[in-house]
Amino acid sequence: MNISQAAKASGLSPKTIRYYERIELIGAASRGDNGYRDYDEEDLDILRFVQRARATGFSVEECRQLLSLYRDTERHSSEVKVLVQEKLERVEAQIQELLQMRDTLQDLVERCPGDEQAQCAIIDKLAEQS
């Protein structure tokens, strides 16, 4: 199976697959006589796993850890759970930051008249010659 077929089957782009190989997130694919990469079903499982993990929001480095747990049949589910809980905490922190930002922006929008005058609460607030 060529890289573009593997790409279609996994939902990743060929570029991304080569990149993942280069940074050793995934193992080097075997090559045909022509030097083309060749993928089998086992490779596809890995590619799909990474695609789903990325789509779920895990970074490439987080995927590296998840992959190593995926491959480790001796793993404890508690290790996986800790990883995902920590990720969840980071996501929640990020949400809080964005909510804070949204409130600030909403406040600015509400206080700006939005007319033909140059006088503008948003600009004033950011300039704040205090």
**Chain residues that interact with its own copies, rule: CB under 8 A:** 45, 48-49, 52-53, 56-57, 66, 69-70, 73-78, 80-82, 84-85, 87-88, 91-92, 94-95, 98-99, 101-102, 104-106, 108-109, 112-123, 125-129
Residue 8's binding partner among its own copies, DNA, none (Cβ under 5 to 8 angstroms by kind) is none
The label of the residue with tokens 């503008």 reads 120
What is the Cα–Cα distance from 17 to 33, expressed in whole angstroms? Answer: 20
Say which residues have a Cβ less than 8 Å from residue 2's Cβ, sequence separation at least 6.
36, 37, 38, 39
Which of 11, 19, 108, 120 binds DNA (CB under 7 A)? It is 19
We find the least distance from the C-beta atom of residue 32 to its own copies, in angstroms, to be: 26
With contact defined as beta carbons under 8 Å apart, do 107 and 125 qualify? no
